[in-house]
Amino acid sequence: MSGAPYLHRARSVPVIMLWVLAALLPGIVVHAGFFGPGILMQLVVSSLAALVAESAVLALRGQRLAPALSDGSALVTAFLLALCLPPLSPWWLTALGSVFAIVVAKHLYGGLGQNPFNPAMAAYAMLIVAFPALMSQWPLAGEGHQVAGFGESWRLVFGGERALDGITGATPLDALRTGMRGLPGAAPPQISTVMAGSGLGVIAGVGWEWVAAAYALGGLLLVALRVISWHVPTTFLVVLALISALFWMVDPASHAPPWFHVVAGGSMLGAFFVATDPVSGASTPRGKCLFAAGIAVLTYLIRVFGAFPDGIAFATLIMNLCVPIIDRTTQPPIFGHKQGPARRGLRQGDR
Amino acid sequence: MNRRRGFGFHGGIEPNSYKSETTRLPIRVAPISEELVVPLHQNIGGTPRPLVRVGEYVFKGQRIGAADGNISAAVHAPTSGHVTALELRQVPHASGLADPVVVIRADGEDAWMAPEPFDWRAAPPDAVRDYLRDAGVVGLGGAVFPSHLKMRPGDADAIDTLILNGAECEPFITCDDLLMRERAATILRGASILARLTGARETLVGIEDNKPEAIAAMRQAGAGMAGVEVVVLPTRYPTGGAKQLIRALTGIEVPHGARSTEFGVQCFNVGTAHAVADALERGRPLISRIVTVAGAVRTPRNYEVLIGTPVRELLADAGMMAGVERVLMGGPMMGFALPGYAVPVVKATNCLIAWTPGLLPEQPEERPCIRCGACAEVCPADLQPLELYWYARGNQFGKAQEYGVFDCIECGCCAYVCPSNIRLVDYYRYAKSEIWASERDKARADAARARFDARNARIEREKSERAARVAAKTAASRAAVSAIPDASADGVSEPSVSNAGPASGSEAAKHALIAQALARVRARQAGQDVADDPGGAAGAHQPGDTGHTTS
Amino acid sequence: MLLPLLIMTGLAIVLGAVMGYVSVRFRADSDPLVDKVDAILPQTQCGQCGYPGCRPYAEAIANQEAEINQCPPGGDEGIRKLAELLGREYKPLDAAHGAEKPKSVAVIDEATCIGCTLCIQACPVDAIVGAAKQMHTVVATLCTGCELCVPPCPVDCIRMELVRDTVDTWKWRRPIIPIKAVA
Ligand code: SF4
Ligand code: SF4
Ligand code: SF4
């Protein structure tokens, strides 16, 4: 029998994972509202694929299924991946990503707790490298665009039909980048024209800003419940705002304002749900700040100078690599080892 | 003075306190058991030497075990009666192993020994400390560190703040609470004795704010006393850890391995202060203590229990219910499951919890660590328990030490919050005992190496001495030989003698030499037999020669 | 794509520099190899390794003359430590030299002892006290359990006793983690 303590707080890993899933719900609802029910199909496909993959790997590794399946971590991975994918992607793309996340990114490294990379982000990165075209077919929302209904979404996701014209288009981030780069030889366009021209919303595009707000709401709930620490989202958003503000102030004509970057793309999802993944993130308080700041800076650089639509996934993976050294160098001082031996002298001096 | 509340400490948890059941009834004096089992080793430090023999009659309060060296404390007969056994019996320890005990069959008289008057005010400080050691006073908070060692007037570090620990932060335990409610005056008299002995100018009594009655009682008792202040602390486990309390009251962090006196602070449990007053004012050694009996018993309450009372009898008096699977000694955070119910109450026993699965649910199966950092958030020692766990689990004890496993106070906060149900503290205890064991092994190996080398050196030395002796003797007998045959002329050098001398002469000389040597050996052997002198051949092998035996 | 590459390269350079610094800064002090090997050996001085004591065996190991798996008292753990120190391949204990046994100490039956001093002469660490024709005793805290004193005794009065755990030497066991399926 094990030793003390014999008293425990009733917040186990499954409970934590359930909270994370619950906190994603507002975002999912808003997402489905703006971009159609495709996202729900992706969630189902992704979850099923993840659970099947997890069971298969556990069986192969000779481990019991129940404890690992019930911890909910596979579901969280599946949800995060699905939420990053275009909602009308073909089902096999999602399933492939999900299986990759579980089998390669998680279990090949030893399973839950030992994976150095965020499994959902690793899968996303793999998909975007392998299927760049499919990965950029985002549905459009707002005036003048029709949202795919259930039947149409079903055909698109499961039917192998890829008639997407008029339904999908560039995301705000894509629009910004292609607009900014301009055509070869042409004069670089002004940021204002890009923003207006691609039918963006008030801040970051129709729909997008509301989805971001819903993610933030769920994320704040997690912070309030202390499921995630405040260090990561705060640092991430502040640093992202700071670096984009810096570029924007130097050259407002060719850089988007900070509020755009903070809300656009996967910023909120990344801040509250991706960068806060405990397993692949830093564990010390200062380390968490460094880690999040690193992701923010890299995200911005990849968004502005890189070749991919959003930088969160790559930024997260790169910072995942740095976690061991971040943790090692940010160990907080141990009780009693912060003060010098001069303590007593100080006290005597006080009197 | 409110500033003190501001210090606090990092981490900590706020578990359900489970204290209310045992604070409703006053302290009850537990009935005297027919047979009391007094373990000799009830303190940190050396095991006391038994002073009694089987069959001997002892009075209540008579010393039955004498402190072994200075880092030790005496033990006493808790009641009068006959010593029926000096043997090994299971003691209340997580290992369930046996340790030497003195078994006393009570005669029912409960007759005190004649008091020895001792005027601690007039006695020199050293005598007072020896008196406390011989009165068996140890820390009653659970650490059982000999109290006399905590006041060293000779020390360079003067003490200016005396801290009385009445925080009692662990769930279930209320023995200090009740003691403060009922015997505040004695506690504070003990505190003023301690303040005098340590030279402290101010006395801070730290009590958590979930004990309003105790706070009121202590405030009232301390009303007229100069330099005594009752400080109310927020309820948070482990405020009652000595280091956390010192930090919470003074802002000072005493690192692992340092003594708080280096920082001008000394901390005693309220129960210890009570025991000090009893010992010095009334000449009563430490033979009883307050024990909380909680959990699945019909009348949960506090008892004043004689040391040596079998746990079973105490639980029976409280009415242990059916379905109790084990009994915890100490609180649920830092206690341990008793190996059996026949073990006695000892000086460290502050609480007994009759455990049923319904009371505190059993910990579910461990899952992998998800590095969530919850453990680090609550660690009052500012450690990263997840790293310690990683290294302890991987048997990388050097790394575990680097990450501060010995700074861990085993408070259990990390395991309390861990969402993966990892028995974190078990890993730290494992790592610590492995490290201690390998240090013991290393010390033994080093000693063995030194002794081996010493032995080899000695053999070497003896060999060369023998060679030298032989050489010297040869030289001497050569001189003698050259004197015996008057073959050559005077002044002729030795070589010429051996070369030029007749062969027969040199043969004869050799025979003479051998005969001489044999006679010498015989004479020596005879002499040795007569004197039975162990300094001869065998004596040379006595370990005493190497200078290590006595150590 | 260029930027991440640049960043990774930069990181690699920085990390490399840091690791280089660390390895220089925390370089192990240069004990002669023999001392390090000797520090791992258990100092039982039993000679089971085929050398007259741990130090000679340590010298042989350091000179690459002996295998690292010849010391039964050091056991598996000792071999692993040696393998790690020397960067040699781990090998299970060579059964030709004996088997790993739990630690024990010699005890002399004092009633039978005739005081012949033979055991005293055999003990490599002078852990036996006694004089000619007087009863001998083993100082248990000094005894390394090498068993060298057992065979010389003409009346067979020396036996080996297991060292039992006491409350002070008892160790917490490593918690058991049931993750694998019971197959
Ligand atoms: S609380 Fe448990 S799961 Fe979380 S980091 Fe600590 S040990 Fe790991
Ligand atoms: S048991 Fe040790 S590591 Fe865990 S919280 Fe307490 S001091 Fe920290
Ligand atoms: S076998 Fe005996 S003598 Fe040889 S190294 Fe091991 S303990 Fe030392």
Residue C7, chain A, CB below 8 Å: the answer is yes
- Ranges A173-187, B304-318, C27-41, most confident: B304-318
Q: How far is the CA of B370 from the centre of ligand 1 (A)?
A: 6
Size of interface A-B (CB pairs under 8 A): 147
pLDDT (tens digit per residue) in A208-220: 778 889 999 999 9
pLDDT above 60: residue A321: yes
Pairing of strands B81-90, B98-106: antiparallel
pLDDT above 70: residue A240: yes
Q: Determine the average pLDDT of the residues in B370-390.
A: 93
Q: Determine the average pLDDT of the residues in B513-520.
A: 55
Q: How far is the CA of C140 from the centre of ligand 3 (A)?
A: 19
pLDDT above 90: residue A132: no
For the record, the structure tokens of B119 come out as 């005027």
Are the CB atoms for A217 and B361 separated by under 8 Å? no
ipTM topping 0.95: no
The residue contributing the CA closest to ligand 1 atom 2 is: B418
Locate tokens 């162990």: which residue?
B534
- Ligand 1: nearest atom to the Cα of B370: 3
pLDDT (tens digit per residue) in B33-64: 999 999 999 988 889 999 999 999 999 999 99
For residue C117, being part of any structural domain is answered with yes
* Partners of chain C (3+ Cβ pairs below 8 A): A, B
Contacts of A1 in chain B (CB under 8 A): 326, 337
Size of interface A-C (CB pairs under 8 A): 33
Q: Is B103 helix (H, G, I), strand (E, B) or coil?
A: strand
Range with lowest mean pLDDT among A14-23, B465-474, C13-22: C13-22
Query: Is the Cβ atom of B374 under 6 angstroms away from ligand 2?
Result: no
CB–CB of C7 and A62 under 8 A? no
pLDDT recorded at residue A162: 66
For the record, the structure tokens of C113 come out as 């002892």
pLDDT (tens digit per residue) in B64-80: 999 988 889 999 999 99
- In B259-300 the beta strands, taken as DSSP E runs, fall at 265-269, 288-295
pLDDT recorded at residue B539: 38
- Ranges A154-163, A165-174, A321-330, A339-348, most confident: A321-330
Q: How confident is the model at residue A308 (pLDDT cuts 50, 70, 90)?
A: confident
Q: Determine the average pLDDT of the residues in B371-399.
A: 92
Contacts of B365 in chain C (CB under 8 A): 178
Ligand nearest to the CA of B413: 2
* Partners of chain A (3+ Cβ pairs below 8 A): B, C
Max Cα separation, chain B? Answer: 117
* Positive or negative torsion for Cα C161, C164, C169, C173: positive
Residue A63, chain C, CB below 8 Å: the answer is yes
Range with lowest mean pLDDT among B34-43, B139-148, B208-217, C174-183: C174-183
Locate tokens 């990892």: which residue?
B422
* Residue of C8, C15, C172 with shortest CB distance to A318: C8
For the record, the structure tokens of B207 come out as 């009590």
Q: Based on the domain organization, do C39 and C90 belong to the same domain? A: yes
pLDDT (tens digit per residue) in B438-449: 898 889 899 989
Locate tokens 């959990």: which residue?
B295
The proportion of chain A whose per-residue pLDDT surpasses 70, expressed as a percent, equals 80
pLDDT (tens digit per residue) in B343-358: 999 999 999 999 998 8
CB–CB of C181 and A321 under 8 A? no
Q: Is B55 exposed, middle or buried (0-12, 13-18, 19+ CB in 10 A)?
A: exposed
Query: Is the Cβ atom of C145 under 6 angstroms away from ligand 3?
Result: no
Q: How confident is the model at residue B298 (pLDDT cuts 50, 70, 90)?
A: very high
Single-letter amino acid, residue A112: L
Are the CB atoms for A67 and A19 separated by under 8 Å? no
Q: How confident is the model at residue B495 (pLDDT cuts 50, 70, 90)?
A: very low
Query: Is the Cβ atom of C54 under 6 angstroms away from ligand 3?
Result: yes
pLDDT above 70: residue A206: no
Question: Ligand 1: which of B365, B378, B384, B420 to mutate, judged by most atoms within 8 Å of the beta carbon?
Answer: B420
- Of A332, A336, A4, the closest CA to residue B244 belongs to A336
The proportion of chain B whose per-residue pLDDT surpasses 70, expressed as a percent, equals 85
- Ligand 1: nearest atom to the Cα of B374: 1
- Ligand 1: nearest atom to the Cα of B424: 7
Q: How confident is the model at residue B531 (pLDDT cuts 50, 70, 90)?
A: very low
pLDDT recorded at residue B498: 40
Q: Is B336 helix (H, G, I), strand (E, B) or coil?
A: strand
Ligand nearest to the CA of A279: 1
Q: How confident is the model at residue B154 (pLDDT cuts 50, 70, 90)?
A: low
Cα gap A76→A58, rounded to integer Å: 17
- Of A253, A259, A265, the closest CA to residue A182 belongs to A253
Range with lowest mean pLDDT among A268-272, B188-192, B522-526: B522-526
Q: With DSSP H G I counted as helix, E B as strand and the rest as coil, what are the percentages for chain A, rounded to 5?
A: 65, 0, 35
Residue C99, chain A, CB below 8 Å: the answer is no
* Residue of B10, B335, B416 with shortest CB distance to A8: B416
pLDDT recorded at residue A164: 62
Cα gap B260→B254, rounded to integer Å: 6
Query: Among A13, A58, A60, A63, which would you mutate to test the C interface (most chain C Cβ atoms within 10 Å of its Cβ)?
Result: A63
pLDDT above 80: residue A178: no
CB–CB of B452 and C125 under 8 A? yes
Query: Is the Cβ atom of B409 under 6 angstroms away from ligand 2?
Result: yes
- Ligand 2: nearest atom to the Cα of B388: 3
Cα gap B381→A334, rounded to integer Å: 6
* Residue of C4, C18, C180 with shortest CB distance to A62: C180
B493 vs C127, higher pLDDT:
C127
Check which CATH number belongs to the domain holding C87 and give it. 1.10.15.40
pLDDT above 70: residue B162: yes
Number of H helices, E strands in chain B: 13, 17
Cα gap B186→B274, rounded to integer Å: 6
For residue C140, being part of any structural domain is answered with yes
* Partners of chain B (3+ Cβ pairs below 8 A): A, C
pLDDT recorded at residue A193: 46
How big is the CA angle at B344 (ends B343 and B345), to the nearest 5 degrees?
130
Residue C47, chain B, CB below 8 Å: the answer is no
Residue C4, chain A, CB below 8 Å: the answer is yes
Q: Give the list of residues 6+ apart from residue B43 with CB closer than 8 angstroms, or none.
A: B72, B73, B136, B138, B144, B145, B146, B347
For the record, the structure tokens of A146 come out as 């029709």
Q: How confident is the model at residue A153 (pLDDT cuts 50, 70, 90)?
A: confident
Are the CB atoms for B265 and B244 separated by under 8 Å? no
* Residue of A283, A339, A343 with shortest CB distance to B386: A283
Single-letter amino acid, residue A246: L
CB–CB of C172 and A3 under 8 A? yes
CB–CB of C180 and A302 under 8 A? no
For residue C121, being part of any structural domain is answered with yes
- Ligand 3: nearest atom to the Cα of C74: 6
Cα–Cα distance list, B175 to A105, B140, B183, B303, C64 (Å): 53, 10, 11, 8, 64
Compute the nearest-CA separation of B372 from chain A (Å): 5
Cα–Cα distance list, A94 to A56, A100, A339, B273, B365 (Å): 18, 10, 53, 69, 33
Domain closes at, from C46, C78, C97: C97
Q: Is A350 exposed, middle or buried (0-12, 13-18, 19+ CB in 10 A)?
A: exposed
Contacts of B247 in chain A (CB under 8 A): 335
Are the CB atoms for B305 and B62 separated by under 8 Å? no
Report phi then psi at B352, rounded to 5: -125, 130
One DSSP character per residue, B428-493 reads HHHHHHHHHHHHHHHHHHHHHHHHHHHHHHHHHHHHHHHHHHHHHHHHHHHHHHHHS---S-TT--
Residues in chain C predicted with pLDDT less than 50, given as ranges, are 29-30, 179-183
Q: Give the list of residues 6+ apart from residue B238 with CB closer than 8 angstroms, or none.
A: B12, B169, B170, B244, B333, B380, B409, B411, B413
pLDDT recorded at residue C1: 55
Q: Determine the average pLDDT of the residues in B426-431.
A: 94
Nearest CA in chain B to C174: B430
- Ligand 2: nearest atom to the Cα of B11: 5
pLDDT recorded at residue B4: 47
Beta-bridge partner residues of B268: B164
Nearest CA in chain A to C11: A322
Compute the nearest-CA separation of A320 from chain C (Å): 12
CB–CB of A2 and C175 under 8 A? yes
Count other Cβ atoms within 10 Å, centred on residue B196.
Answer: 15
pLDDT recorded at residue B533: 39
Query: Is the Cβ atom of C41 under 6 angstroms away from ligand 3?
Result: yes
Q: Give the list of residues 6+ apart from residue B161 with CB closer than 8 angstroms, or none.
A: B200, B201, B202, B203, B204, B249, B250, B264, B265, B266
For the B21-355 domain, the top CATH level (class) is alpha beta
Q: Determine the average pLDDT of the residues in A233-237.
A: 95
Residue C89, chain B, CB below 8 Å: the answer is no
Domain boundary assignment for chain A: 36-169, 171-181+188-334
Q: Determine the average pLDDT of the residues in A293-320.
A: 88
Average pLDDT for chain A: 82
- Peptide bond preceding A5 in cis form (omega within 30 of 0): yes
The residue contributing the CA closest to ligand 2 atom 8 is: B379
pLDDT recorded at residue B521: 44
Cα gap B221→A297, rounded to integer Å: 62
- Ligand 3: nearest atom to the Cα of C53: 3
| Domain assignment of residue C115, given as a range | 102-165
Max Cα separation, chain C? Answer: 90
Number of domains chain C contains: 2
Q: Determine the average pLDDT of the residues in A222-239.
A: 94
pLDDT (tens digit per residue) in A243-269: 999 998 988 877 888 888 888 878 899
